Structure 1
Amino acid sequence: MDRTPLATAVPRRWLNLGVLAHVDAGKTSLTEALLQLGGAVAERGRVDDGTTQTDSLAMERRRGITIRAAVATFYAADVGVNIVDTPGHPDFIAEVDRSLSVLDGAVLVVSAVEGIQAQTIVLHRALQRLNVPTIFFVNKVDRMGADVERTVANIKRHLTESVVPLGSLDQLCADLAGYDDLLLQEWIDGGLPSSDRLWRSLRSLTSGCVVSPVLSGSARTLAGVSELTDAILRLFPTSSDGDIDGPTAGQVFKIERTAKRARLCSIRLRAGSLAVRDHVAQGTVTALQLHQPGGAVPAARATAGQIIQVEGLDEARIGDWIGTRPTGVPTPNFRPPALQSTITAKDPARQNDLYQALAELADIDPLITLRVQHDELHVSLYGKVQQEVIAETLATEYGIEVALGQPSVICIERPTGRAHAVLRHGEHQYPVTLGLTVEPAPPGTGITLDITAEHGSLPLHVYNTTEAFREAVLGYLTDPLTAGPHGWPVTDVHLTLTESGYPPASPRPAEVRATTALVVTEAVRAAGTTICEPIDHLRVEFPADTISEVLKVLARHGAIPETTTTTDDTAVVEAHLRTGSVDALRHELVGAAHGLAVVDAHLHHYAPLR
């Protein structure tokens, strides 16, 4: 087989490609095969040997899974293909979602042996939600037990009926004619259209997310990988530099740290250009790298369609837009972590270093949050694997060995009663008088504030208007309400500022902030709080012939069913369940529903802790 590079010249067009799959379906192996046939590597890396291009983290190589999205590049003809390798483990679904938003197309890998699995369904729905054109690649056809026809049938049954296997021209034309009326008429009037005509129709239908082509092969033996590469290049939309003179529009989808601890932002440029020394809202570009075969290289400027790495944007956060956000770009949608775990440095002298290291990790990943509860440090989590990865990251990158507690659900506190607290200047350390009343508010209303204190007693020489003062005090309430008497965030609370005062030439904003924290803490303590746990709304979809076993599992975990519907082969149960029980339910449903239960869980409400 010819394994020379497909192109060596700098490409004129760019294609940003996602490769997704359930764990062990062969996603990373297929990525390596695409890179080898594209001339980017001389030999394919192996997951088992820890030599893959995209699993660059030491822990990824040891575990044989993808943890963070990574980019690897090959050139084909005049197209530069950036492969965005995304995690397949459910604990890292947020990393998947924010990576999908930068793609032009995706290859969803399905094993011809294991077939469709629950995470395959979750990934496909995410691709549909974000309107990402998709090609299915049925992998592992060389393995014992492989059955391509069965796998394609299950893709139609569990994912989408709008699939087009790439086979003979006659069959391709018949499949496409069901979606392309003009092609159907041409076929009727003039016989079988040409191959080029069929591919034009297939490209239009694929890029428009109307159909999904299906190919099969083996990433291990390279069977079918050349055909897959050809389909990717012919069917997915590509970006060009034709609009580089327009306004800059780029999306930050990943942030990591360089060896010197500088922030390195991965950005998909959708329009315009970005150059070193450019000033944007998030900072000034001090360095810029472009992806090319073999790795990222320094560059002075990047243009639309490219994925780049940028230093100097110290205020950037994942999900930010650099420049103008284009219209019609879907927004990634993922649930914040519902679990947390205590985390302690094994060497007590390094506890402060641990806090600083976790703050850096939280800056990279906005879904990691830190809390101090009862003098213990807690970190938010999606699951056990993510917990282990955080511990290994702290050990390898920061040299801090940590002990992690058993994950627990993140609760809230709501005021139980009504109470008032006041501090008057001359009676405490700050020259401010402040009185606050705390009382319960309707669920879901958060934190609200009214001011009934006499207008002339408000420090308007500092805040200018009553509304500005109210907004400032609302901001001052955030920190003290992050931990109530039991250590959980206090919410669904209404506060009334009933008393205000200050001596001449006072106060300063910092003094008002500090007094607010003291008064609200006392008022909440006096009112008392009730700990409330999160309750999820579940939508469980599974094969109809497993309904008896699934209902038994739901009952064992305390789920309260609301509705049950069935079709010929699929059943759906909607129910409510304590958030803390969802992961265990998911795990047990794997066996009960033959690996095909899809659990969509969303926070519904909070209820008093049982």
Structure 2
Amino acid sequence: MDRTPIDLPRRWLNLGVLAHVDAGKTSLTEALLQLGGAVAQRGRVDDGTTQTDSLAMERRRGITIRAAVATFHAGGVGVNLVDTPGHPDFIAEVDRSLAVLDGAVLVVSAVEGVQAQTIVLHRALKRLKVPTIFFVNKVDRLGADPARTVRQIQRHLTEAVVTLSAVHNAGHSTATVEPVGREQLCADLAGYDDALLTEWVDNGLPSDERLWQSLKQVTPVVCGSARTVVGVEQLMAAALRLFPTSSGDTQGPLSGQVFKIERTSKRARLCSIRLRTGALAVRDHVEQGVVTALQLHQPGGAVNASTAIAGQIVQVEGLDQARIGDWIGSRPSGVRATNFLPPALQSTITATDPSQQNALHKALAELADIDPLITLRVQHDELHVSLYGKVQQEVIAETLATEYGIEVALGQPSVICVERPTTSGRAALRHADPDHHYSYTLGVTVEPAAPGSGIHLVITAERGGLPLHVYGTIEGFREAVLRYLDEPLSAGPHGWPVTDVKITITESGYPPASPQPVDVRNTTALVVAEAVNQAGTTVCEPIDRVSIEFPSNTMPEVLKVLARYGAIGETTALSTDIAVVRGTVRTGSVDALRNELTGAAHGLAVVDTQLDHYDPIRRQPAPGLG
């Protein structure tokens, strides 16, 4: 951090590297860093010496868990290389990173070919309109078949692909790669670009510049081996020619997006921000706090700086109120809000040493601050943490042990249910009641509301009894009460969040001495909780709407798996190669269903799920039980 900053390039490229697990993503990142002169020697995943997998558990497991940024310079451009996770449990981390990219390299193994997670990642890139190059890796490994892999890309991802590489001795350690000839490249591009074909026929072979222009209309494929650095130089040259690089509008209004939050060795909050316009300097005041320190990514690591400008990725201290996905300054027009699918699972978590339980709660609060998709819930002195899957559960436990010195025990993951009121309930507390210790009177009714409607608040109490001298207006009072409802509705009689409820304030009053907001908040918590108990609740489990895409020739095996898990198929689409089944399935069955479909569909089943609704379940499980 104390190194002197070197002269910074004027133009920047924020480049993502994505892949299915074990396709060679981190190895490619190391090869690019060596090629750009940022490291003298490439690290190895197997040896735990890679630059971007900086967490100890990443090195041990050989997988990427958190997005990391490393920088090198190429062709006068500063390249911020964003290494993203490939494991499905960390797909949210991938989504956060995609929002800040100018372009992406999607790595596909020439041995294993296109895999389910490859398809998921490509769809995410396509949805966010991130320009992409495929890198067909491991051409030097036994069983490598680049031509077959390209055909799989065309079949499962996109038909409009053009290969820039000719591979020799594929499947052998001596495999080499060279660029395809101009005439071959033009012939391939002409199949997608009618104007190019006309120019070729009328005027002869088009210029290199014209061919590169046409390449932007398709998805290029570069072949090589990250292990031997074969084809990596061609990949980088293509990225610099095809992906947009910019210095951004340094004179425009400040606009940057937070895509990662971590802790320094001194436990300070460190926000990674992609600046799109304007500049950010030490001591600047923004909505999320005051900038106390800046670090810019440079070859060899981050360095202290006084100012960061548009186009750069910067690490910022002092923004204590920032959350992942926040915009520092204004959000540019046309940029969509980041939409993270919340975790569907949770697990009980306890400190092995009971004396560390309070420290565990504090540590988990810090982790939740870093990752907004981790949420904590306390019920009957049990702590619950939300998560995406088993691997993430193991990573949370290892993080707590290594970074906080807290050994924990985690329960079996279970789905996160909700409770709906079964009937109507009433409750009231008056400030004169002997057992009521707050200076406020409140009466409410609780009623079932339409499924999916959430929380609806109605005020029928007389206006004169509302503490408007505290909240200003009826709307101000309503907004405050809605916030106060978070606590009593966070856990119903069965321990799950209460939703789809209509709450009516029928009575409100206070003594001559004005109530404080704490009186209103605490009274609301007590009265609403009692009304919910009076109404009773029904536990409802989540049901996902699911779309399953798989090779048509595996239809019998896939349908058997769907039947075993009670997946209700509503529509089926069938083509020569690909079949698609859409329907619903219990959220609690999705992970097991996905695992079985992997075998049934020969590794090519793509399972897209989204929470659809909640259905009452036959039994009333305690929290933490499936």
When normalised by structure 2's length, the TM-score is: 0.94
Higher alpha-carbon deviation: 379-388 or 301-310: 301-310
Structure 2 residue corresponding to 1:176, chosen from 179, 189, 194: 189
Give, in whole Å, the separation in 1 of the partners of 2:539 and 2:355. Answer: 33
Structure 2 residue corresponding to 1:189, chosen from 202, 209, 214: 202
Q: What is aligned with 1:306?
A: 312
Shift of 1:251: 0.6
Give, in whole Å, the separation in 1 of the partners of 2:366 and 2:129. Answer: 33
Give, in whole Å, the separation in 1 of the partners of 2:475 and 2:80. Answer: 50
Are residues 1:234 and 2:241 paired? yes
Shift of 1:194: 2.0
Superimposed CA distance per residue, residues 440-475 of structure 1 (whole angstroms, 9 cap, x where no aligned partner): 000111111111222222222222333322222222
- The 8 Å contact of residues 387 and 393 in structure 2, kept in 1 or not, is answered as yes
Superimposed CA distance per residue, residues 384-430 of structure 1 (whole angstroms, 9 cap, x where no aligned partner): 00000000001111111111110010000000011111111211112
Give the secondary-structure state (helix, strand or coil) at the position aligned to 2:447: strand
Give, in whole Å, the separation in 1 of the partners of 2:439 and 2:318. Answer: 41
Are residues 1:437 and 2:435 paired? no
- The 8 Å contact of residues 15 and 237 in structure 1, kept in 2 or not, is answered as yes
Unaligned runs of 5+ in 2: 1-5, 165-179, 619-626
Listed as ranges, the matches of 1:36-435 within 5 Å are 36-166=34-164, 167-202=180-215, 205=216, 210-241=217-248, 243-427=249-433, 428-435=436-443
Give the secondary-structure state (helix, strand or coil) at the position aligned to 2:464: helix
Q: What is aligned with 2:169?
A: none
Q: What is aligned with 1:507?
A: 515
Give the secondary-structure state (helix, strand or coil) at the position aligned to 1:520: helix
Shift of 1:198: 1.4
Are residues 1:20 and 2:43 paired? no
- The 8 Å contact of residues 294 and 306 in structure 2, kept in 1 or not, is answered as yes
Give, in whole Å, the separation in 2 of the partners of 1:460 and 1:70. Answer: 49
Q: Which amino acid aligns with 2:292?
A: T
Give the secondary-structure state (helix, strand or coil) at the position aligned to 2:372: coil
Shift of 1:181: 4.2
Structure 2 residue corresponding to 1:571, chosen from 570, 579, 585: 579
Give, in whole Å, the separation in 1 of the partners of 2:339 and 2:456. Answer: 27
Q: What is aligned with 2:550?
A: 542
Which 4+ stretches in 1 moved above 4 angstroms? none
Give the secondary-structure state (helix, strand or coil) at the position aligned to 1:132: coil
Give, in whole Å, the separation in 1 of the partners of 2:253 and 2:226. Answer: 40
- The 8 Å contact of residues 15 and 79 in structure 2, kept in 1 or not, is answered as yes
Q: Which amino acid aligns with 2:213?
A: R
Give the secondary-structure state (helix, strand or coil) at the position aligned to 2:112: coil
Shift of 1:333: 3.2
Are residues 1:477 and 2:510 paired? no
Shift of 1:12: 1.8
Shift of 1:201: 3.1
Give the secondary-structure state (helix, strand or coil) at the position aligned to 1:479: helix
Give the secondary-structure state (helix, strand or coil) at the position aligned to 2:140: coil
Alignment CA distance shift 1:332-1:476 (3 Å): closer
Give the secondary-structure state (helix, strand or coil) at the position aligned to 1:239: coil
Give the secondary-structure state (helix, strand or coil) at the position aligned to 2:311: coil
The alignment of Structure 1 onto Structure 2 pairs a total of residues equal to: 596
Shift of 1:186: 2.0
Q: What is aligned with 1:446?
A: 454
Give the secondary-structure state (helix, strand or coil) at the position aligned to 1:240: coil
- The 8 Å contact of residues 130 and 332 in structure 1, kept in 2 or not, is answered as no
- The 8 Å contact of residues 91 and 382 in structure 1, kept in 2 or not, is answered as yes
- The 8 Å contact of residues 549 and 606 in structure 2, kept in 1 or not, is answered as yes
Q: What is aligned with 1:601?
A: 609
Give, in whole Å, the separation in 2 of the partners of 1:278 and 1:433. Answer: 45
Give, in whole Å, the separation in 2 of the partners of 1:458 and 1:276. Answer: 45
Structure 1 residue corresponding to 2:532, chosen from 524, 535, 541: 524
Superimposed CA distance per residue, residues 275-299 of structure 1 (whole angstroms, 9 cap, x where no aligned partner): 1111111111111011111000111
Give, in whole Å, the separation in 1 of the partners of 2:75 and 2:232. Answer: 17
Superimposed CA distance per residue, residues 19-58 of structure 1 (whole angstroms, 9 cap, x where no aligned partner): 1100000000111111111111111100000000000000
Higher alpha-carbon deviation: 404-413 or 224-233: 224-233
Q: What is aligned with 2:621?
A: none
Q: What is aligned with 1:4?
A: none
- The 8 Å contact of residues 101 and 331 in structure 1, kept in 2 or not, is answered as no
Shift of 1:180: 3.7
Shift of 1:553: 0.2
Shift of 1:9: 5.6
- The 8 Å contact of residues 339 and 381 in structure 1, kept in 2 or not, is answered as yes
Give the secondary-structure state (helix, strand or coil) at the position aligned to 1:16: strand
Shift of 1:379: 0.3
Q: Which amino acid aligns with 1:231?
A: A
When normalised by structure 1's length, the TM-score is: 0.96
Give, in whole Å, the separation in 1 of the partners of 2:499 and 2:71. Answer: 47
Give, in whole Å, the separation in 2 of the partners of 1:378 and 1:103. Answer: 34
- The 8 Å contact of residues 250 and 267 in structure 1, kept in 2 or not, is answered as yes
Higher alpha-carbon deviation: 452-461 or 477-486: 452-461
Shift of 1:513: 1.0
Superimposed CA distance per residue, residues 252-282 of structure 1 (whole angstroms, 9 cap, x where no aligned partner): 0000000111100000111111111111111
Give, in whole Å, the separation in 1 of the partners of 2:144 and 2:504. Answer: 67
Q: What is aligned with 1:456?
A: 464
Give, in whole Å, the separation in 2 of the partners of 1:348 and 1:530. Answer: 33
Q: What is aligned with 2:506?
A: 498
Give the secondary-structure state (helix, strand or coil) at the position aligned to 1:91: helix
- The 8 Å contact of residues 440 and 515 in structure 2, kept in 1 or not, is answered as yes
Give the secondary-structure state (helix, strand or coil) at the position aligned to 1:126: helix
Give, in whole Å, the separation in 2 of the partners of 1:351 and 1:465. Answer: 42
- The 8 Å contact of residues 9 and 78 in structure 1, kept in 2 or not, is answered as no
- The 8 Å contact of residues 293 and 316 in structure 2, kept in 1 or not, is answered as yes
- The 8 Å contact of residues 160 and 192 in structure 2, kept in 1 or not, is answered as no
